[in-house]
Amino acid sequence: MPFIMLIYYIITAYILAMLIWNFIKEKKSVNDMLLYLLVMIPLILRLLRVK
């Protein structure tokens, strides 16, 4: 795996971890919960390399 791609995977994992953390911490806003889930989709697919 090229170095640049490795960095991109690390960035993807970091942003995904932040989104999961925010999703867990969110207590009231259903809109925000849904928003976190939707933004997570491409990041999860990329990280798991689901084509």
Partner 1 sequence: MPKQWKIKVILILIVAAAVITAGIQLYNHRHYRMLLTAGPGVTKVHMLSDYCSGLKGTMADTHVFFLKGKEPGGKMLILANTHSNEPASLLAALIFLENAVVEKGTLIIIPQFNNSGGRNTRPGDGYPLYFEIQTSWGTKKFRMGNRDASPLDQWPDPDVYVHYPDKQLLSFLDIRNTNRTWPGRPNGALMEKVTYAAMELMRTEKVDMTVDIHGAETMFPVTNCIVAPEKAIRIATMTSLTLKAREGFDNHVEPSPSGFRGLSHREIGDFSDTLPFLLEAPLPFLDQPTGPKTVKLLLDGKDPFLLSLAKKNKLFVPYDESGWPMENRVGQHCSAVLELLRQFSRKSPDRSIQVKNVPRYAGIVKNGVGYYYHNPATINKKDLYFN
- Taking the least distance from each CB to partner 1, the nearer of 16 and 46 is 46
Classify the phi-psi angles of 49: left when phi > 0, otherwise alpha if psi is within -120 to 50, otherwise beta.
Answer: left
Secondary structure percentages of the chain, helix, strand, coil, to 5: 80, 0, 20
For residues 1 to 40, the per-residue mask of contacts with partner 1, x marking binding by CB under 8 A and - elsewhere, is ---xx--x--------------x--xxx-x--xx--xx--
Cβ at position 24, least distance to partner 1 in Å = 8
Between residues 15 and 33, which has the closer beta carbon with respect to partner 1?
Answer: 33
